[in-house]
Chains A and B, each alone.
Chain A
Amino acid sequence: QSALTQPPSASGSPGQSVTISCTGTSSDVGYYNYVSWYQQSPGKAPKLIISEVSKRPPGVPDRFSGSKSGNTASLTVSGLQAEDEADYFCSSYGGGTNPYVFGTGTKVTVL
């Protein structure tokens, strides 16, 4: 299975919103509602911020939101803060014997 496609970079000023796309196929993102998003800051463990397309785990600020349309899932970070500067990657259930298909990753810069 091919990796999910994300833009390499995205940026915004503090207080603005940034949206990251995650494009798959009708066999993964388009078929299943098992899209997750992770935040990875340098030197830190990846952190789950969205699961099942739009569910936030406890403790994740509501500035983070997820959605899906067709074969593309999206993560929106509203009210950007300096601490949001990190790499973000998506994953989707791929079905069958390889349950995790990952995105290519997006570096978010807070200007």
Chain B
Amino acid sequence: QVQLQESGPGLVKPPGTLSLTCAVSGASISSDGWWGWVRQSPGKGLEWIGDIGHSGSANYNPSLKSRVTMSIDKSKNQFSLSLTSVTAVDTALYYCAYSSGWYRLDYWGQGTLVTVSS
């Protein structure tokens, strides 16, 4: 059973950088498929942030592309999200997830709440 666990600061000051890591267990990060991030905020609902394959090739939501970077660490079996120049609108519950393809998210983490506030 694949398990995903998000970690990172729960509070980020604007206009800083939000950095999260997703630890993967029960599967290799080198597997086929896509490792991604989704966020959920009261104002905007669920929003796909982007995903990354084991080769390091990444896809980002066009609305966030200028501020997002994703990376993979095969030695630690984890992947990461970096979102720069954050503002209050970036306050959300951030989920990491895995897709084996066909535009479905097979496994999700429990989510981590990130608040952007000075």
Tell me the complex Cα distance, A24–B39, Å.
20
Contacts known (A97-B59, A102-B45, A105-B45); A38 close to B4, Cβ less than 8 A: no
B47 within 8 A of A: yes
Tell me how far the C-beta of B47 lies from the nearest C-beta in chain A, rounded to whole angstroms. Answer: 7
Chain A residues within 8 Å of B105, by CB: 36, 38, 46, 48, 91, 100
Q: Select the residue from B4, B63, B102, B109 with max chain A CB neighbours within 10 A.
A: B102
Tell me whether B45 and A43 are in contact (CB under 8 A).
no
In the complex, residue of chain B having the shortest beta-carbon distance to the beta carbon of A57:
B106
Chain A residues within 8 Å of B104, by CB: 34, 36, 48, 51-52, 91
The digit string for B67-102, where 1 denotes a CB below 8 A from any CB of A, is 000000000000000000000000000010100001
Chain A residue total in the interface (Cβ 8 A): 26
Tell me the complex Cα distance, A92–B105, Å.
11
Tell me the complex Cα distance, A102–B40, Å.
10
Chain A residues within 8 Å of B63, by CB: 98
Tell me the complex Cα distance, A44–B30, Å.
26
Q: What band does the interface of chain B fall in when counting residues whose beta carbon is under 8 Å from A?
A: 20 to 34
Chain B residues within 8 Å of A93, by CB: 103
Chain A residues within 8 Å of B47, by CB: 102
**B13-62, CB < 8 A from A:** 38, 45-48, 59, 61-62
A61 within 8 A of B: no
Chain B residues within 8 Å of A44, by CB: 110
A104 within 8 A of B: yes
Query: Which of B4, B103, B106, B110 is A100 in contact with, Cβ under 8 Å?
Result: B103
Q: List 9 A-B contacts (CB under 8 A).
A: A3-B45, A38-B108, A51-B102, A51-B104, A89-B46, A97-B61, A98-B48, A99-B48, A100-B103
Since A38-B105, A51-B102, A104-B45 are in contact, a sample of 15 more A-B pairs with Cβ atoms closer than 8 Å, ordered by chain A residue number, is A32-B103, A36-B103, A45-B4, A45-B110, A46-B108, A48-B105, A48-B107, A52-B102, A91-B104, A98-B61, A98-B62, A100-B48, A100-B105, A102-B46, A105-B45
